[in-house]
Structure 1
Amino acid sequence: MIPENHYCHKATLLPHDNLDKIYHDTVYGFPVEDDNELFERLILEINQAGLNWSLILKKQENFREAFDQFDIHKVAFYDDADRDRLLNNAGIIRNKLKVNATISNAQQILELQKEYGSFADWLDHHHPLPLKEWTKLFKKTFKFTGGEITKEFLMSTGYLAGAHHKECAVYQEVVGSGPAWLTK
């Protein structure tokens, strides 16, 4: 039985066209290999800090538009005019720390790509780590990341188990997609 406070239980009660339901059923916990998509997930998790995840999902398309489809190479070279544009964009979260973290993290991912080949390869290089070690690594590497942001990013991209309850209908789909947490 899935506990009532679990995301999977809540998702089962939502209509099929609800953004949380769609995210739960088709995105959350499935492995991601594309660096721009990994970057997007990281930035959405950062922007969710202190807010409701449903709000972030409602604004996701606005984020994609505002941040050039989360193209790491473009975002890494944003200048003051881009910062001002973003801070005046009512379609996204207009938080200066989060906007600056997004640009800084894009720059950091470019450095990781130089050293490891890709952001995904950097994650694979460090996998598996316990959450506490992942959190230390993320805090050392990226801006505006802490334990909860790191945990949710890693669960949402298949690096940590826990995105879905074992009795959730989506759990077996996630397992079948070969998430990193299955390999130790």
Structure 2
Amino acid sequence: MSYCAAIETMQPEARKDLHKRYHDHHYGFPIHDDNELFGRLIMEINQAGLSWETILKKEESFRAAYNNFNIAAIAAYTEADRERLLNDAGIIRNRLKVNAAIENAKTIQQLQKEFGSFEKWLEHHHPKTKEEWVKLFKKTFRFTGGEIVGEFLMSIGYLPGAHTESCLVHQKAVKAGALWAKK
């Protein structure tokens, strides 16, 4: 079932509204800010094994805990920061996911040096199939399997499938510049 169809069947209204805001204004739309791209990757990594609703409810806590997803700040985290994150009840307290965020920030800094930005690194490798992206991400980043990579790239407009063609948001994502739509 697509994300579009899933939110239409959700109840109660509060849950539907939480997903609807994400669906209508964020899911499948390009992101041009490296820190926000990294933030989406952190959230997708943290969703592994959990519901997306859990992650959406914790987004503000993630932003606060991870310096508003500032790549340079996270790359400089110390062992004390790692422990702070592991003790923060507002986020997902999983050592592998916390370590992945810190190490992936360092990796993105290297990509920024080489390509100018994380976004330019992504653009450099576009287009790829999901399988090719997964292979590249597994080679480049920590804690990035098929579901994480697929959802991350779909959520930022690099892979198709975020919205069905009958979804009212589909054309908005295309007009916003979703790269999967550019042939």
- TM-score w.r.t. the length of structure 1 is 0.95
Q: Which position in structure 1 is the counterpart of 2:123?
A: 124
Aligned to 1:7: 3
Cα distance in structure 2, aligned partners of 1:10 and 1:48: 17
Within 5 Å, which residues of 2 pair with 1:135-146? Answer: 135-146=134-145
SS state at 2:58 partner: helix
Residues 41 and 152, structure 2, Cα contact 8 Å, conserved in 1: yes
CA distance in 2, matches of 1:164, 1:8: 6
User: d(CA) in 1 for partners of 2:52 and 2:40?
Assistant: 12
Paired position in structure 2 for 1:20: 19
C-alpha distance in structure 1 between counterparts of 2:152 and 2:105, whole Å:
15
Deviation at 1:172, TM superposition (A): 1.0
Task: Indicate the residue corresponding to 1:41 in structure 2.
Answer: 40
Q: Aligned letter for 2:8?
A: T
Which amino acid in structure 2 is aligned with residue 136 of structure 1? K
Q: For residue 10 of structure 1, report the CA deviation from its aligned partner.
A: 2.4
Query: Are 1:168 and 2:164 counterparts?
Result: no
Give aligned pairs, total.
180
Q: Which amino acid aligns with 1:6?
A: S
The alignment status of 1:58 with 2:57, answered yes or no, reads: yes
Instruction: Give the Cα–Cα distance (whole angstroms) in 1 for the partners of residues 2 and 118 of structure 2.
Output: 30
For the residue of structure 1 that corresponds to 2:92, the secondary structure is coil
Question: CA shift at 1:13, angstroms?
Answer: 4.4
Q: Cα RMSD over matched residues?
A: 1.2
Mapped pair 1:91 → 2:87: no
Matching of residue 77 in structure 1 with residue 94 in structure 2 = no
* 1:68-123 alpha-carbon deviations (Å, 9 max, x no partner): 00000000000000001000000000000000000000000000000000000000
Paired with 1:12 and 1:24, the residues of 2 have a C-alpha distance of: 11
1:181 aligned partner, one-letter code: W
Question: Helix, strand or coil: the match of 1:108?
Answer: helix
The gaps in structure 1 that reach 5 residues or longer are: none
SS of residue in 2 equivalent to 1:18? helix
